[in-house]
Amino acid sequence: MLKLPARLTRHEVAALGAAIDAALGRRESVSIDLGDVCELDSAGVALLAGLQRRMSAGERLQITHPRPEVVKTLALFPFVDRTPAAPVEQSVTERVGEWALVAREAALDYLVLCADVAWFCVAGLFRGRGIRWSQVAFEMASMGSKALGVVGLIAFLVGGTIALQSALQLRQFGANIFVADLISVSLTRELGPLMAAVVVAGRSGSAVAAELATMTITEEVDAIRTLGLHPVRFLVLPKFIAISITQPLVTVLADALGIGGGFLVAITYLGVGPGAFLARMQQALLVKDLLTGLFKSVLFAQLIVTIGATCGMRTRGGADAVGRSTTTSVVASIFAVIVADAICSMIFYFGG
């Protein structure tokens, strides 16, 4: 093992080169201790690279005990094995602290992005600072109209399934008519907004994350900044406005088709007349139920877009990082939607 001095810069490497060659000779494996090195520049890295190149096939240059600042410099020049000879395992406390630090940074990035979106949205609506309405229309078509088929089919099947599963219990008590209450209230308040949000999170939220992640790793986001444009206003704001408009409409469709599925089961299997079903639904369903579901749909949509945008713009690496960011955005979006739904349900329940 060869121990190098504290300074490994262009002023010292010329004198060190000959001494290192004489000390090392020709060995099958060379280990260099950088524990004392506190200053390293490209000349010092070139010295290490030269040692690696002079070795024959099968020989290896191993660097041990590098300081954090030295590791950062060596990371720019991936020519040697920088893995320590005896890697130190992190304790549980260190792993929890590292996770907390990463979570804190992600939360701060998310809050900053939300603040930027809110500012540019208000500025664009009231100060005329350039909302690209043509791009908003394009995003509305992508996030809204193209998602109607899958959302409508899932809502119809779920509505029919709920009515079918409740039929056995309702028929025992001769309460078949109350399937209208169950279907209409549960779909408009909870299931309709939630189903639409989960489908949109998997479909549109992942697309937002993948698009922005690809633009980030190909430096297109940096190019936008270089042109004097804000990436949030240019890329995220049209998606935010578009999904805030289309998600309530998609939720209304999910409510209607879900109730239609329950209606079909009620009149064919439970023996409930169409007129009786509709009359009971009008009695059970309130305007408050519809407004509650629409409020949730807007909240869920904004969570999906902002989380997807944050995951995309935090991407670092290559193509595999795009996949990880997309997966993270979908999981985080669905989790956030469910948590927000639970919180809203408690607020509306205890609030009367």
Residue range 279-289, pLDDT digits in tens: 888 888 888 88
pLDDT tens, position by position, 34-76: 777 777 777 777 777 777 666 655 556 666 777 777 777 777 7
Q: Tell me, what's the pLDDT at 129? A: 59
Which residues, 6 or more positions from 78, have their beta carbon under 8 angstroms from its beta carbon? none
- Give the Cα separation of 303 and 142 in Å (integer): 18
How many CB atoms are closer than 10 A to CB 330? 21
Q: Tell me, what's the pLDDT at 154? A: 93
Q: Do residues 154 and 258 touch, judged by C-beta distance below 8 A?
A: no
- Give the Cα separation of 24 and 1 in Å (integer): 9
| Structural tokens at position 13 | 């490497």
- Band of pLDDT at residue 170, cut at 50, 70 and 90: confident
Q: Do residues 270 and 176 touch, judged by C-beta distance below 8 A?
A: yes
Residue 302 has pLDDT above 90, yes or no: yes
Residues 33-55, buried b or exposed e (16+ Cβ, 10 A)? bbeebeebeeebbebbeebeeeb
Residue 275 has pLDDT above 80, yes or no: yes
Residue with token string 């209409």:
184
Domain boundaries along the sequence of the chain: 2-74, 107-350
Q: Tell me, what's the pLDDT at 272? A: 82
Residue 237 has pLDDT above 80, yes or no: yes
Question: If you average pLDDT over residues 22-36, what whole number do you get?
Answer: 64
Which residues, 6 or more positions from 172, have their beta carbon under 8 angstroms from its beta carbon? none
- Band of pLDDT at residue 341, cut at 50, 70 and 90: very high
Do the strands 29-33 and 7-8 form a parallel or antiparallel pair, or are they unpaired? unpaired
- Band of pLDDT at residue 92, cut at 50, 70 and 90: confident
| Structural tokens at position 232 | 């949030």
Look up residue 10 and give its amino acid.
R
Do the strands 2-3 and 29-33 form a parallel or antiparallel pair, or are they unpaired? parallel
CATH topology of domain 2-74: Transcription Regulator spoIIAA (3.30.750)
DSSP characters over 273-334: -HHHHHHHHHHH--HHHHHHHHHHHHHHHHHHHHHHHHHHHT--SSHHHHHHHHHHHHHHHH
Q: Tell me, what's the pLDDT at 251? A: 93
| Sign of the alpha-carbon dihedral angle for 20, 22, 26, 30 | negative
Q: Which of 194, 200, 241, 217 lies closest to 325 in space, CA to CA?
A: 217
Which residues, 6 or more positions from 8, have their beta carbon under 8 angstroms from its beta carbon? 16, 34, 37, 39, 40, 41, 43, 44, 47
Q: Which of 310, 295, 305 lies closest to 340 in space, CA to CA?
A: 295
Do the strands 60-64 and 7-8 form a parallel or antiparallel pair, or are they unpaired? unpaired
Residue 3 has pLDDT above 90, yes or no: no
